[in-house]
Amino acid sequence: MLTIAIANQKGGVGKTTTAINMATAMAATGWKTLLVDLDPQGNASTGLGIAADVRDMSSYDLLIDEAQVDDVAIATGIPGLDIVPATVDLSGAELELVAVEERAARLRNALEKHRGHDICFIDCPPSLGLLTLNALCGADSILVPLQCEFFALEGLSQLLQTVERIQQRFNPSLDIIGVALTMYDRRNRLTDQVADDVRDCLGPLVFETVIPRNVRLSEAPSHGLPALVYDHSCVGSRAYIALARELIGRFPPERQAA
């Protein structure tokens, strides 16, 4: 199973929207897809229509009780897409993990035993704590959503340093598969300036596809649907379909088919 963490310690950059819609796009192209909601807010779970009262088990159980993925995953309304939901219990997992052996490897251990899916996306919380550390230790690659604003550049440098430390200490095979520019507004000159600066700094690491600001992307979660299902023809949905196509093109040749 190919595992991709969607991470950025800065909040409000489109991590969950990216996780939901990339997972949906991959499932639509035939990949058996798993989405792990590792954010205590549980927005990815809500955005896929998983009500709180059906989340009997969650990613908390993977980390703390060493539950099996098969026991925790729930089928969504999207064919080929399952989710390991998050509950409010996850907010206490950071403290509980401090006293646990191999606390950074709990998620990796759970995912390594799992064979039921072709690809897994991990929706990380907006922090660089133990939850995100578990995600980065368990992932093959990291996809970084980056909002087109000035402060995003500062956060990116901190994230790159964190990835380097994790490569040195925990997961030497971790790489950054790409940086996706989100909330792109062509009417705003600062947006173009930030995008140019990021491309100058990171070069081909930045995806050509940009995710625009789009009302339909914002509306979809309130209906418990990915934007690709809520309105597949809106500009936001078309952008995520293009981003998924570009992402697959960056997989190793032997992994480019489900």
Task: Specify the pairing of strand 2-6 against strand 119-123.
Answer: parallel
Helix 130-138 and helix 150-169, axial crossing angle in degrees, nearest 10: 60
* pLDDT interval class at 124 (50, 70, 90): very high
Arithmetic mean of pLDDT over the chain: 91
Mean pLDDT of 68-80: 94
Is 255 inside any structural domain?
A: no
How many domains does the structure of the chain reveal?
Answer: 1
> Rounded CA gap, 67 and 61, in Å?
5
What is the span of the domain harbouring residue 180? 2-250
Out of 39-43, 51-55, 72-76, 190-194, pick the least confident: 190-194
The DSSP code for 13 is S
The DSSP code for 169 is H
Is residue 117 within 8 A of residue 33, CB to CB? The reply is: yes
pLDDT of res. 192: 86
More confident site: 48 or 9: 48
Percent of the chain surpassing pLDDT 70: 99
pLDDT of res. 258: 63
Residue 152 has pLDDT above 80, yes or no: no
- Interval 14-65: pLDDT, tens: 999 999 999 999 999 999 999 999 999 999 999 999 999 899 899 999 999 8
Is residue 97 within 8 A of residue 64, CB to CB? The reply is: yes
Is 25 inside any structural domain?
A: yes
Residue 201 has pLDDT above 80, yes or no: yes
Is 207 inside any structural domain?
A: yes
166-173 CB contacts, 8 Å cutoff, 24+ apart: 166/133, 166/136, 166/137, 170/104, 170/105, 170/133, 170/136, 170/137, 171/108, 171/136, 171/137, 171/138, 171/139, 173/140
Terminal C-alpha separation, the chain: 10
More confident site: 21 or 158: 21
- Interval 214-248: pLDDT, tens: 999 999 999 999 999 999 999 999 999 999 999 99
pLDDT of res. 222: 92
Q: Which sign, positive or negative, has the C-alpha torsion 106, 80, 42, 198?
A: positive
Residue 80 has pLDDT above 80, yes or no: yes
Q: CA of 207: how far to CAs of 133, 179, 201, 202, 248, in Å? A: 24, 6, 13, 10, 12
Mapping DSSP to helix (H, G, I), strand (E, B) and coil, where does residue 206 land? strand
**Of residues 140, 85, 82, the one with CA closest to residue 108:** 140
Residue 96 has pLDDT above 70, yes or no: yes
**Of residues 96, 33, 23, the one with CA closest to residue 66:** 96
Is 121 inside any structural domain?
A: yes
CATH code (residue 141): 3.40.50.300
Is 258 inside any structural domain?
A: no
> Rounded CA gap, 203 and 12, in Å?
24
How many residues are recorded in the chain? 258
pLDDT of res. 131: 93
Is 54 inside any structural domain?
A: yes
Task: Specify the pairing of strand 206-212 against strand 175-184.
Answer: parallel
Q: What is the pTM of this model?
A: 0.94
Q: CA of 173: how far to CAs of 163, 169, 256, in Å? A: 11, 11, 19
Is 256 inside any structural domain?
A: no
* pLDDT interval class at 138 (50, 70, 90): very high
pLDDT of res. 48: 96
pLDDT of res. 194: 85
> Rounded CA gap, 137 and 223, in Å?
33
